[in-house]
Amino acid sequence: MRYGISARLGKIIATAAAVLLVAQAQAISTAALMQGIPSLAPMLEQVTPAVVSIRVSKAMPAERGSRLLERSYATGAGSGVIVDAAGGLIITNHHVVANASRITVRLHDERTLEAQLLGSDPGTDVALLQVEAKGLIEIAFADISTVAVGDYAVAIGNPFGIGQTVTSGIVSALGRAGINNANYEDFIQTDAAINRGNSGGALVDMEGNLIGINTAIISGDGGSNGIGFAVPADMVASVMEHLKRDGQVRRGLLGVTIADATPVIVAALEVDIDHGAVVTSVLPDSAAEKAGVKLSDVIVEIDGKAVRGSRQLRNIVGLMRQDQQVELVLYRNGIRESLQARIGGSKGEPSRGIP
């Protein structure tokens, strides 16, 4: 009994001490904190130094017949996130740095650095920069599988070039697509205000972990209407590895055309599943044909990842390495089977379209 009371008393003392320390860091009263009044300040103090402002210069084509010797330039602004402090690696959007002749990065401590573009991928709108500097602070990637609709989210960036700004909201939806059907999309939707200049900035959770890179909004006037989109952290991490290694994403090809496994299709195929990608054709001499994939197979898993539909299969394959060995789990004639496939490519060149 005495031990139990002592243990509980110890926990109470430890909790009170922690509350006092947090209250001091948050610049709000201990009484307010004890009543449950929250503050994002301690988390942001750790995270905001990892979000940078990006300035780009782009050479403009000279006018026909112009006698001007000096070349004109256009400038633009965006945001970026330091994801590897030791390596000086910064993630931003492809559209922020596309066709840039010069890229500069402004850190939280007001230092301005020249940045090198290591690689860029228009298909996911992700680009990778590198700077040389000491004392950088990075953001850790979140486990994206734990992110749920309704989770609180914080957007950090440089809207309209006015300087670092923080807005908050929630995760409004997951798996959004359709903004550009030619791209690889699996967006996190948020109502945290995202404006022009926020592109490439961070979307973080309440622990300060990176859940996405802000990339797009739906808006009639260019301002925030509470519908913003971020590239999820797991896709960012996959693209970053490609860009570090090759400077581009050399997309793999399975060599099938596919459709969603809708209830109507599943019923017609007499398969007892509620998700997957139905094979509607197999390309000759493709990785799929060599693996033994057939028309009307329903792919439900690839390389240990569940396939909910055709778009997800396309995204997964599109971020795999060419020549990567994978396991396909599928249903054929109502029977679950497993096949081994080696992801193909287009003569080593970046490929887009069919997964």
Determine the Cα–Cα distance for residues 258 and 265; give it in Å rounded to an integer: 12
Determine the Cα–Cα distance for residues 215 and 218; give it in Å rounded to an integer: 11
199 is catalytic: yes
Q: For the chain, give me the number of helices (H) and strands (E)? A: 8, 19
Q: What H or E segment, with its residue span, contains residue 192? A: none
Choose the catalytic residue: 125, 191, 205, 234.
125
Q: Which of 319, 119, 347, 128 is nearest to 234 (CA)?
A: 319
Choose the catalytic residue: 95, 151, 296, 303.
95
Question: Identity (one letter) of the amino acid at 299?
Answer: I
Choose the catalytic residue: 120, 199, 224, 238.
199
Determine the Cα–Cα distance for residues 281 and 188; give it in Å rounded to an integer: 31
Query: What are the tokens at 73?
Result: 């330039």
What is the maximum alpha-carbon separation in the chain?
A: 94
Determine the Cα–Cα distance for residues 55 and 299; give it in Å rounded to an integer: 44
Q: Are 127 and 134 in contact (CB under 8 A)?
A: no
For tokens 């991490």, the residue is 237
At 166, give phi and psi (nearest 5°): -120, 130
- Give catalytic residues, as residue numbers: 95, 125, 199
